[in-house]
Structure 1
Amino acid sequence: MNDNGSTKEPGIEISSQEAKPIVEAFLAKFKSKDVNIPSNLPTACQLKGIKDIDVLRSSKFLNLNKIYYYFDFSNQLFETLPKEILEFYDSLQPWEDYDFCIFDSGMKWCIGVTHNDDVILVDPERILNFPSPGLLENDGKNIKKPAD
């Protein structure tokens, strides 16, 4: 816990100078360019992917080395290990309404965690070996069953 009672962020915060090009590249790739989506809507809430909380517990995710996670609201980028992200996620208190994105250094996939407790995976190359059958798709507006 931090001094203010919030769950302590895991990993190492990357300096703003070092983080700037990483964050810019991440946002260019994953943040929606749809003019109908409010610009202040967190990136995690804009992701178009598969809704699946289990990805955070999957061996493909947990066996990765270094990953990043990014908080839009504070413009903070951290470097950490997947197991530390899972521990952070599991430790969040009900009043902690975080929106953050987890991604790899190659920006091949992204996991968005929203204040609504949604976990949304964007993994076009299926590096994390998802989607699993029967999961829900998020088109940025509605959650729905994927087409067969």
Structure 2
Amino acid sequence: YHVLPFDKSFISTNFGKIQKVLYKTFPEIDDRVFFYDERDKTLYATKMEEVVTNILEFEPWDQVDACVFNREMKWVLAIAHEDALLFLEENSK
């Protein structure tokens, strides 16, 4: 898995870097994804752009624990309150 530093502005200012690190498997900004928010225990079908917008609205003291899945559930991007992004991908053998 890949671990990236995370803060409120990290995704918006480093979106291209995130895509490069994740070997182009990270979704395009308009891709449809599933977003699971641990705070309200709800799964949303949404666009990656809306996920990024939602995350950027969090305050520094907000505890963020959420997961983003692609539609096929072959990868997950976990946003942890420990200020890290974790990316796990299905092994393609």
TM-score of Structure 1 vs Structure 2, range by shorter chain? 0.5 to 0.7
Larger Rg: 1
- Select the structure that is richer in helix: 1
Question: 1:125 offset after TM fit, Å?
Answer: 4.9
Alignment match, 2:66: 100
Question: Alignment partner for residue 55 of structure 2, among 68, 89, 112?
Answer: 89
Larger strand proportion of the pair: 2
Task: Work out whether residues 53 and 120 of structure 1, in 8 Å CA contact, stay in contact via their aligned partners in 2.
Answer: no
TM norm structure 2: 0.67
User: Paired residue for 2:36?
Assistant: 70
Give the fraction of aligned pairs with identical amino acids, expressed as a percent: 18
Q: How many pairs align? A: 77
- Residue 96 of structure 1, CA deviation: 0.9
Equivalent residue, structure 2, for 1:119: 85
Distance (whole Å) between structure 2 residues aligned to residue 94 and residue 73 of structure 1: 15
Q: Structure 1 unaligned runs (5+)? A: 1-48, 127-148
Structure 2: gaps of 5 or more residues: none
For residues 4 and 40 of structure 2, the distance between their equivalents in structure 1, rounded to whole angstroms, comes to: 25
Kindly provide the amino acid, as one letter, of the partner of residue 52 in structure 1: L
After superposition, the C-alpha distances for 1:44-65 in whole angstroms (9 at most, x for unaligned) are xxxxx211359x5237422452
TM-score normalized by structure 1? 0.44
State the match for 1:131 in structure 2. Answer: none
Q: Distance in 2 between matches of 1:81 and 1:110?
A: 15
Higher relative contact order (CA 8 A, sep 6+): 2
Q: CA RMSD in A?
A: 2.5
Give me the whole-angstrom Cα distance separating, in 2, the residues matched to 1:94 and 1:63.
Answer: 23
